[in-house]
Amino acid sequence: MHSATQVRTDTDQNSVFIVDDEKDLLLLYEEILEDKYDVRTATSGPEALQKIDCSVDAVLLDRTMPEMSGDEVLGILREEGLNVPIAMVTAVKPTEEVVDLPFDEYMTKPITPNEVLDLVNTLMTRKEYHQASQELFRHVSKKTVLERANCDRSDEYEDLVEEIADLRENIRSILNDISSTNPS
């Protein structure tokens, strides 16, 4: 996995990396997603491991490919610290062994264009939730540090309290979005 740090601006699209040995399927997924996302592809596990880097926001990964299975690619990506949502999109019906695989979603082919788009949107929402949660935890830690140091009467402290409230509201909003799209 290439680990070069890439900085993205707010105007850049989120990126989806798709790994599948069926080139026609890659083209179909790319066509479905390209208007909303920066789509990158690989047709094998080794190629994916060379191309996927920290600028990727989500991964769609086939389980059955020649050379290297999607399960192996998934394991390597997680071992190397790729902390993005990864969905297995595969013709393999799930069995008990999926319990040990560190994926975020699992869909069995064939899937419709709407299902592909919904899947990627769900993965992006999960990533947004994770990022907002991490930022909230950082802010709460800073607030606690200021309180312990008796610095809780400063403008900086008040700004932090407001930012925490905003982050909590953002997280509530994300959770509401998740609940409305996944009514289970």
From CA 39, how far away is CA 6, in angstroms rounded? 16
Return the closest-CA partner of residue 52 out of 85, 28, 95, 10.
85
pLDDT at 180 over 50: yes
Three-state secondary structure call for residue 65: coil
Domain boundaries, the chain: 15-111, 125-181
Question: What is the pLDDT at residue 8?
Answer: 41
Question: What is the pLDDT at residue 181?
Answer: 64
pLDDT in tens, 127-171: 989 889 999 999 999 999 999 998 888 888 999 999 999 999 999
pLDDT at 108 over 90: yes
Tokens linked to 115: 């299902």
Distances (CA, A) of 131 to 44, 115, 148: 29, 24, 26
Report the CATH fold assignment for 15-111.
Rossmann fold (3.40.50)
Question: What is the pLDDT at residue 117?
Answer: 95
**How many percent of the chain have pLDDT more than 90?**
68
Torsion sign over Cα 134, 174, 12, 111: positive
